[in-house]
Structure 1
């Protein structure tokens, strides 16, 4: 990449042109900030319109297909704005995803609107926990086989696969032993709580949310499934949190049940384990401490 633009292969040129229905030149695609897993670029068509493009290795095309599926699911909630999916697939050796380009800004003064909108998303429900397909959390596979039992789903579809991956990467000892104990006894944490299935964004941190120029809540980079709505709220607090007005508006629209503070640790353990598996040992002590806290709650 350079200031002259991203070098387009003939295959990618044709795929992008077909996706946007406009001409593409050798200087149409330029890198922009954002994206720790895929390359993020801005595409300018010869008709003056702009799009957002993600590129990665061709073998990761299924990750973009899952992202497109998740965006289309979120778009069914009228309280949100979601980038329109214009195209995705494989062009030569590269996987690509083309989205409508949105002029985004931080939540800030529109945080309350965002909180209310998230509650509306969570009111979209289904008979089971899970999703119509497996997808990804970051670049990690995320299993979504349906279940009517939420503690079982979270234990076996979320925590257990991350623990198994951690074991394959050499993280055993306390992490694995205590993690297996938690998986086996997790249902104790839900003795007094039976959450309904809610449509979740699934990876709700500040890097995946924004407001548009009209103040509407914008969501992108999803890892959707039907789960406990508290899992989204918990994730939103993991890396610094959203403005206080966001949480106040959400709770006003749909109050949280007692015990959320404990379940927040459980739900965020999934993301910390995923970060351990993606980014390394720096997250090991945090994961072990969280498991220890949860086991202590189970013993009470």
Structure 2
């Protein structure tokens, strides 16, 4: 971590004002920003995520999402780190979070805790529309805000359509995709769904088990959606055990048609990866598009 950023953190008006940094160690795992373990005098440990000054928008959105997820989680099972703060200097931006000690426990607490988050948020007073109150990010890609009353409209207009527009840079013809969007919206609008607060980017690198046995989720792209979008993404890259799914389904049983909806919901993530990284994700997105056209049109 740059020395000027360290000085800014412990300055009188800094996020760690009054603290003394004993050590700063890099942490692996991030693909967009750099991550650090900050050891403070007195034994306290803090997690820091840093980037250029332009990263402040991403950190603000992430902090907002973490706050919302934290407020709806059951902390005895699922830990969502509550942000300690974020700030911007001339050259850097940083987000501070509590340090999480990851372990190698089973995924029962994670699965049950995620299901309870979905279940409890679905009966919260704010659970009445699909969407999010601000523009955000999915990884480094854009994730527009906005609200829709029907689930199919929200998923196609707020999630798929913006990604398909970006896909024109690698050869997607948006006009050819419009009949599929209409069919998907109609298909999903028929589902009887109450919005749940979802993590939104739930691959294996954004979840885990803590050393005390509880589960944890972090790095969200949260919004109010069908709870199945989180479960669907866990199937995209793997990394989630049978214990996780058994525990989840003990709270929210698998719904009829879920296996068919996995491909629909993961189409969003394939498009986002194609737009961010190109390569094989472009062909995967095109193959998924063809498959959905065969199924729904």
Q: 2:34 — aligned with what? A: 39
| 8 Å contact from structure 2 (residues 163, 275) kept in 1 | yes
Q: CA deviation at 1:177?
A: 4.9
Aligned 1:109-188 pairs, distance under 5 A: 109=106, 111-123=107-119, 124-125=121-122, 126-167=127-168, 170-173=169-172, 176-188=174-186
Q: Distance in 1 between matches of 2:20 and 2:90?
A: 17
Q: Deviations over 1:77-99 (max 9, x none)?
A: 22421223111020221111011
**Counterpart mapping for 1:258-277 below 5 A:** 258-277=256-275
Q: How many residues align?
A: 287
How far apart, in 1, do the equivalents of 2:151 and 2:34 lie?
A: 35
> Kindly tell me: are residues 295 and 194 of structure 1, through their superposed partners in 2, closer, same or farther at Cα, counting changes over 3 Å?
farther
Provide Cα deviations, 1:119-144, integer angstroms capped at 9, x if missing partner: 11101020101122222110112112
1:87 aligns with 2:85: yes
Q: Give yes or no for contact 1:20–1:86 (8 Å, CA) kept in 2.
A: no
- The equivalent position to 2:54 in structure 1, one of 53, 59, 65, is 59
Q: Is the 8 A contact 1:272 1:283 kept in 2?
A: yes
Q: What TM-score comes out, normalization by structure 2 length?
A: 0.90
In structure 2, the CA distance between the partners of 1:191 and 1:127, relative to structure 1 (3 Å rule), is closer
Q: Which residue among 200, 209, 215 is the counterpart of 1:202?
A: 200
How far is the alpha carbon of 1:49 from its aligned partner? Answer: 1.5
Distance 1:256 1:156, change over 3 A: same
Deviation for aligned residue 1:47 = 3.0
The superposition leaves residues 248-287 of structure 1 with CA deviations (integer Å, 9 ceiling, x where unpaired) of: 1211211122111221101111111111111113211110
Q: Secondary structure at the match of 1:89?
A: strand
Q: CA deviation at 1:148?
A: 0.8
Distance 2:189 2:143 in 1: 26
Greater CA deviation, 259-268 or 77-86?
A: 77-86
In the superposition, the TM-score normalised over structure 1's length comes to 0.90
Give the stretch that moved more between structures: 177-186 or 73-82: 177-186
5+ residue gaps in structure 1?
1-5
Residue 192 of structure 1 deviates from its aligned partner by 4.5
Query: Aligned Cα RMSD in Å?
Result: 1.8
Distance 1:56-1:158 versus aligned 2 partners, 3 A rule: same
Map 1:280-291 to 2 at 5 A. 280-291=278-289
Q: Deviations over 1:134-164 (max 9, x none)?
A: 2211011211201111111110110111111
Matches within 5 A, 1:212-223: 212-223=210-221
Separation of aligned partners in 2, 1:16 and 1:180:
53
Note if 1:73 corresponds to 2:71. no
Distance 1:192 1:184, change over 3 A: closer
- 5+ residue gaps, structure 2, are none
| 8 Å Cα contact 1:129-1:150 kept in structure 2 | yes
